[in-house]
Amino acid sequence: MTLPPINPALGIDLVAGRTLRRRVADVSVVIPAHNEEETIAEVVSESARGLEMLDVPGQVIVSASGCTDRTAAVARLAGAVVVEAGIGKGAAIVAGVKASTGDVICLVDGDLRYYGDPPLVPLLVGPILNGIADATVSDLYWRPLYPQLWLCGFFAPLAGTLFPELLPKVGSTPWTGQRAAVRELWPDTLPGGFTADLALLLHWNNRALRMRPVLADDWMNPQRPKPELMAQEFSLLVEHAVRRGRVEPDEVAHLKGWFESAHRLMAEYEPEKHDPRAFEADVLDRSLAELRDRLRPTRSAGRRPA
């Protein structure tokens, strides 16, 4: 069979020079925080230092979400504008964005200690000001002490199947809350809890012309178990895929079966027994194979999503 040639677009008159324009913009840093009195001063001061390095007009806003400690008072002493928000990360993001005035908005978690230089704010905002991107997501360094189970067992197989265009846009730590975008890309509403981070990625995937991952350095934040979060993210991804026509409604049950199997695969990890890098590679292969097997009966019948 002879395939038709693909036009390589040769012969276009290319400009011998930089075609991107630098964006002139004010920058707002929004820090959602819930009881982060131990870390909030450092996050505020590093964000302010980042704005100074960018040499642009800016503001640092702490969106205090149902805080019962001294987070708000400590943030004010550190120089931030403080707004009160409802409980939940999504509510905190929406309240902070609403209170901001910047043309570019950068999101930094209130409990994150970042050990790189420059700080996160210029790292994330710089590509936007330089015209390279209109949204950025931090691709954080992952200490090789533990496998990236969420990425390899859950997100990469599922998002790679339903939204393959999303993976190269968000890097290897798409769960991170450290990101930035031009104002018009920030939605008026978000899910109230921690699924807000994923909801933002899906929103930007639909609307951003150039969403890009940005390599970031070492970091640390408190380990807080969120046992229900992955199931909530699964529902969010699948519901979005059904609305977009990426999956048929009658395939959802097959995807739920895959999710339960993938969860069990990830639960097999034992730190004393498994090498983290080898385990995450294995769980990726097994999770992806399981997903393909689950979808094969419906798609082999010729009902592949549009």
Which pairing describes strands 135-139 and 179-182: parallel, antiparallel, or unpaired? antiparallel
Average pLDDT over residues 288-304: 79
How would you class 186 by CB atoms within 10 Å of its CB: exposed for 0-12, middle for 13-18, buried for 19 or more?
Answer: buried
d(Cα 276, Cα 220) in Å, to the nearest integer? 18
Three-state SS at 229:
helix
d(Cα 19, Cα 192) in Å, to the nearest integer? 40
Kindly report the pTM of this predicted structure.
0.93
**Residues pairing with 105 in the sheet:** 28, 181
What are the pLDDT digits (tens) for 112-168?
999 999 999 999 999 999 999 999 999 999 988 899 999 999 999 999 999 999 999
Q: Which amino acid is at 128?
A: I
CATH ID of 27-140+176-216, from 3.90.420.10, 2.60.120.620, 3.90.1150.10, 3.90.550.10: 3.90.550.10
- Amino acid 203: pLDDT: 98
pLDDT of 301 above 80:
no
**In this structure, what are the phi and psi dihedrals at residue 94, rounded to the nearest 5 degrees?**
-60, -45
State percent of the chain over pLDDT 70: 96
Domains of the chain, residue spans: 27-140+176-216, 229-297
- Amino acid 121: pLDDT: 98
**In this structure, what are the phi and psi dihedrals at residue 20, rounded to the nearest 5 degrees?**
-90, 145
DSSP secondary structure string for all residues of 72-110: HHHHHHTT-EEEEE-SSHHHHHHHHHHH---SEEEE--T
Closest by alpha carbon to 196, among 92, 43, 60? 92
Average pLDDT over residues 8-37: 90
- Amino acid 306: pLDDT: 43
For 267, the enclosing helix (H) or strand (E) is: helix 252-267
What are the pLDDT digits (tens) for 45-56?
999 999 999 999
- Amino acid 8: pLDDT: 74
What are the pLDDT digits (tens) for 65-116?
999 999 999 999 999 999 999 999 999 999 999 999 999 999 999 999 999 9
Least confident stretch, 29-33, 73-77, 263-267, 302-306: 302-306
Average pLDDT over residues 262-282: 97
Average pLDDT, the chain: 94
State percent of the chain over pLDDT 90: 87
